């Protein structure tokens, strides 16, 4: 009852906030022609009207000394914990930009291709348990796969102790792409985990198979088992490579960003048990220019993306803005774009994207993950090793 009352109060508060000024006649931020000839299923599904942040912003590079960072979370004291692809963590002190020595203790990580130590999440009781959950590409018999592990951050913050693998998203495959790998705890202390379908045409149909954990969103307990009442850990099926995952703080809705091939990057609202279509349907085409499967963008029985990008931006980590510091950003969704080299800001109303902005485009960086800090700032890591802070100018 208390959780329900709190959520209702948050929804009321959000509704009372002034909405950003959006002119539906504004052109979309995307000015390049699409890669495909597909038409959207509804008007707001792609190329929403552009809008711009009116608040004066200060952009700072806190550090450029990270090594292929992939995921980040905030500790209770305001420092940031960051995964690095090669298989370790570092802690960044925002006060002076200092970066700790690498923190190891993760076993079985392969960092070939798109693999490595990938996302992370703090246990709901982290301040007591010191448990950190991670996803990583793990070498096992038959190839490699996306694994979920957990271990304790030592009191001296020098190492990870008692590391264990709690879930393996098989089958294993001797490839180096499409591990997915975002993970987020919900309000019930259960864990959502995303996986990829491993990219190669011979593996794609695994995304449609209920006997495979590839191309899925999974729902796990803290111990790595199916949540009570569910026969399987599989929550949704039919995904290509999900590198963005966030839960809307006002509604509890679960959103993902999903990489397409040429065209067809998707923003999806997850509904338990739904099928999101890959590789049977797609708003993209093969890199060669040929159609995917039968060249269908939609078909009965598959859930439509709320939004898609064509040409692609390669959406990665994402977060909802849940601070009052920058009022016009309240409730907006921020997504790091790799190929697009910007941070996408989306205004979502009634489960539709009504406006889009591109932030930090002038920086020319591949933005891998984003975080909303307790200080109301937007933090973002890049493949080149930078940590950005975007905050309201004093």
What whole-number distance in Å separates Cα of residue 243 and Cα of residue 268?
A: 12
Nearest to 177 by CA among 141, 201, 209, 193: 201
As a three-state string, the secondary structure of 153-204 is ECCCCCEEEEEEEEEEEEEEECCCCCCCCCEEECCCCCEEEECECCCCCCCH
DSSP one-letter string for 243-271: EEEEE-TTT--EEEEE--SBS-EEEEE--
What whole-number distance in Å separates Cα of residue 124 and Cα of residue 305?
A: 30
Q: Which residues, other chains included, contact 6 with Cβ-Cβ below 8 Å and sequence gap of 6+?
A: none
Say if CB 101 and CB 71 are below 8 A apart: no
What whole-number distance in Å separates Cα of residue 318 and Cα of residue 39?
A: 26
Q: What angle do CA 226, 200, 267 make, to 5 degrees?
A: 60
Say if CB 238 and CB 275 are below 8 A apart: yes
Q: Which residues, other chains included, contact 22 with Cβ-Cβ below 8 Å and sequence gap of 6+?
A: 49, 51, 347, 354, 355
Nearest to 317 by CA among 263, 368, 376, 262: 368
Give the tokens for residue 186.
């919900």
Say if CB 106 and CB 162 are below 8 A apart: no
Q: Is 95 left (phi over 0), alpha (psi -120 to 50) or beta?
A: alpha
Q: Which of 178, 239, 299, 342 is catalytic?
A: 178
**Does residue 178 carry a catalytic annotation?**
yes
Helix (H, G, I), strand (E, B) or coil at 315: strand
Active site residues: 178
């Amino acid at each position: 009852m208390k959780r329900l009352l709190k959520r209702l109060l948050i929804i009321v508060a959000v509704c009372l906030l002034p909405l950003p000024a959006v002119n539906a006649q504004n052109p979309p931020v995307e000015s390049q022609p699409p890669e495909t000839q597909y038409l959207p299923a509804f008007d707001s599904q792609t190329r929403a009207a552009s809008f711009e942040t009116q608040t004066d912003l200060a952009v700072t590079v806190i550090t450029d000394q990270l090594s292929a960072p992939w995921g980040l979370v905030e500790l209770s004291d305001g420092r940031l914990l960051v995964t690095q692809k090669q298989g370790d963590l570092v802690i960044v002190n925002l006060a002076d930009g200092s970066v700790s020595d690498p923190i190891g203790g993760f076993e079985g990580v392969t960092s070939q291709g798109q693999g490595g130590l990938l996302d992370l999440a703090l246990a709901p009781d982290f301040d007591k348990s010191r448990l950190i959950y991670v996803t990583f590409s793990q070498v096992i018999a038959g190839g490699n796969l996306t694994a979920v592990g957990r271990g304790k951050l030592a009191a001296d913050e020098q190492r990870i102790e008692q590391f264990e693998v709690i879930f393996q998203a098989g089958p294993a495959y001797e490839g180096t792409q499409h591990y997915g790998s975002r993970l987020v705890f919900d309000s019930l202390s259960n864990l959502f985990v995303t996986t990829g379908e491993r990219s190669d045409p011979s593996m794609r149909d695994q995304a449609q198979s209920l006997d495979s954990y590839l191309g899925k969103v999974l729902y796990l307990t803290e111990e790595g088992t199916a949540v009570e009442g569910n026969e399987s850990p599989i929550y949704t099926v039919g995904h290509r490579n999900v590198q963005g995952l966030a839960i809307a703080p006002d509604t509890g809705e679960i959103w993902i960003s999903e990489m397409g091939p040429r065209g067809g990057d998707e923003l999806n609202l997850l509904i338990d048990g739904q099928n999101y279509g890959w590789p049977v349907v797609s708003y993209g085409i093969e890199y060669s220019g040929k159609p995917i499967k039968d060249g269908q963008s939609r078909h009965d029985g598959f859930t439509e993306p709320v939004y898609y990008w064509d040409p692609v931006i390669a959406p990665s980590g994402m977060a909802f803005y849940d601070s009052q510091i920058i009022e016009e950003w309240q409730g907006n969704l921020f997504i790091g774009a790799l190929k697009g080299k910007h941070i996408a800001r989306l205004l979502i109303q009634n489960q539709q994207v009504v406006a889009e902005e591109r932030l930090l485009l002038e920086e020319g960086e591949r933005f891998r993950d984003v975080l909303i800090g307790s200080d109301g700032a937007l933090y973002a890591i890049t493949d080149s090793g930078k940590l950005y802070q975007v905050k309201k100018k004093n």
